Amino acid sequence: MSDNIVDINERRPSDEWKKYTGLGITIVIIISLFLIVISNLFIVEQGEYKVVRQFGEVVRVENEPGLSYKIPFIQTVTSIPKYQMSYDVTPAEINTRDKKRMLVDNYAVWKVEDPRLMISNARSVEGAESIMANFIFSVIRAELGQLNYDEIINDEASTRGSFNERVRDRVNELLTRDGYGISVTDIRMKRTDLPEENEQAVFRRMISERQSTAQAYLSEGDAEANRIRARTDRDVQRIVSTATADANEIIAQGESEAAQIYNDAFGVDPDFYNLYRTLLSYETTIQDETVIVLPANSPYARLLMGYTE
């Protein structure tokens, strides 16, 4: 009886261990499957593409926001921006039509249109930017090579017109032709500089041109001032001549009228006229130290000495 009890007690822990071991394995399997499922779910954000690869090959591209999945262990997921990106193109040296060297610094705004083509031909975002930069440099060099340096740096004299649009359209043509799956939405030149070794020479030439322009303005100003002075002198001379002639005419008329008045007045009393003329002659002949020798009985002396009879 006691032996049977011992056998039953010995069997009971073994059964319970098997029971709990099986339950634990089941729980582990369930948790593992749950973790595997969870780890292979991914979220597609609003501004990105999710590229699913299988053994390195692109099998699908998810571009709609939401939750998606991949096959465990054999598929991987990478993200590619869906929004517009800016790329600062490395400054490059070009030659203008008039054989001047200059540094051009520009930037581009671009985006991925077809992730499959982009990955297939450019491999990565960095590779796409490198290819795009090469096309931009090639097109800008060709476009600016048709312009003179002054037309490029001087907005007023520039014949560039829609230069940025032409460069953008040409770059997009090249990207589409070679199937890179990207497009450029805008290209802008930030600045145009001279190579350091040419900068001082161009500055001196610009200073010389500005001095020549200033001298031309000064010469034109001096010539115009001389014309104005000459015209003014002629006008003044004409006005003075007219005024002098008018004055002489008025004086002559006055003298004529005065002579007529004198004649009328002196004709009334000839003796008074002789007296008046004699008195006028005294003003002319008698000065501070005048010596006159006259006979005492001459009318001139008698009148001077106060004898009127």
Task: Examine the domain organization and report whether 280 and 186 are in the same domain.
Answer: no
Print burial letters for 271-306: b (CB count within 10 Å at least 16), e (below 16). eeeeeeeeeeeeeeeeeeeeeeeeeeeeeeeeebee
Task: Examine the domain organization and report whether 177 and 121 are in the same domain.
Answer: yes
The yes-or-no verdict on residue 185 having pLDDT over 50 is yes
> What are the structure tokens assigned to 186, written together?
């805008």
Confirm whether 248 is domain-assigned: yes
Task: Examine the domain organization and report whether 250 and 285 are in the same domain.
Answer: no
DSSP states of 187-222: EEEEEEE--HHHHHHHHHHHHHHHHHHHHHHHHHHH
Can you tell me the distance from the alpha carbon of 42 to that of 51, in angstroms, rounded to the nearest whole number? 11
Task: Examine the domain organization and report whether 98 and 182 are in the same domain.
Answer: yes
Question: For 225-275, what is each residue's pLDDT tens digit?
Answer: 999 999 999 999 999 999 999 899 899 888 888 888 877 776 776 767 776
Return the closest-CA partner of residue 78 out of 131, 125, 132.
125
| Run of H or E residues at 182 | strand 182-193
Can you tell me the distance from the alpha carbon of 86 to that of 190, in angstroms, rounded to the nearest whole number? 13
3-state secondary structure of 183: strand
Percent of the chain whose pLDDT exceeds 70: 77
Domain boundary among the residues 137, 159, 193 is at 193
Confirm whether 242 is domain-assigned: yes
3-state secondary structure of 41: strand
The yes-or-no verdict on residue 49 having pLDDT over 60 is yes
Give me the number of domains the chain comprises.
4
The yes-or-no verdict on residue 7 having pLDDT over 60 is no
DSSP states of 66-118: EEEE--TTTEEEEEEE-S-EEEEPPPEEEE-TTS-EEEEEEEEEEEES-HHHH
Q: What is the mean pLDDT of the chain?
A: 81
Domain boundary among the residues 127, 158, 193 is at 193
Place of tokens 């083509």: 117
Question: For 81-130, what is each residue's pLDDT tens digit?
Answer: 999 999 998 888 888 888 878 888 889 999 999 999 999 999 899 999 99
Task: Examine the domain organization and report whether 277 and 257 are in the same domain.
Answer: no
The yes-or-no verdict on residue 169 having pLDDT over 50 is yes
The yes-or-no verdict on residue 220 having pLDDT over 80 is yes
Percent of the chain whose pLDDT exceeds 90: 29
pLDDT of residue 177: 94
Can you tell me the distance from the alpha carbon of 38 to that of 110, in angstroms, rounded to the nearest whole number? 35
CB 103 within 8 A of CB 194: yes
Can you tell me the distance from the alpha carbon of 285 to that of 247, in angstroms, rounded to the nearest whole number? 32
Confirm whether 43 is domain-assigned: yes
| Run of H or E residues at 50 | strand 48-54
Angstrom distances, CA of residue 221 to CA of 110, 212, 264, 290: 54, 14, 64, 64
Angstrom distances, CA of residue 140 to CA of 103, 129, 161, 200: 11, 16, 14, 25
> What are the structure tokens assigned to 224, written together?
């115009």
Question: For 293-305, what is each residue's pLDDT tens digit?
Answer: 666 666 666 666 6
Task: Examine the domain organization and report whether 39 and 122 are in the same domain.
Answer: no
The yes-or-no verdict on residue 171 having pLDDT over 90 is yes
Considering the entire predicted model, what is its pTM? 0.54
pLDDT of residue 135: 94
pLDDT of residue 295: 65
**Residue, of 201 and 181, whose pLDDT is higher:** 181
Can you tell me the distance from the alpha carbon of 121 to that of 182, in angstroms, rounded to the nearest whole number? 11
The pLDDT of 19-43, averaged and rounded, is 79
Task: Examine the domain organization and report whether 165 and 100 are in the same domain.
Answer: yes
Could you list the residue range(s) of the whole structural domain that residue 240 is in? Answer: 214-268
Question: Which of 31-35, 67-71, 102-106, 153-157 is least confident?
Answer: 153-157
Q: Which DSSP state fits 49?
A: E
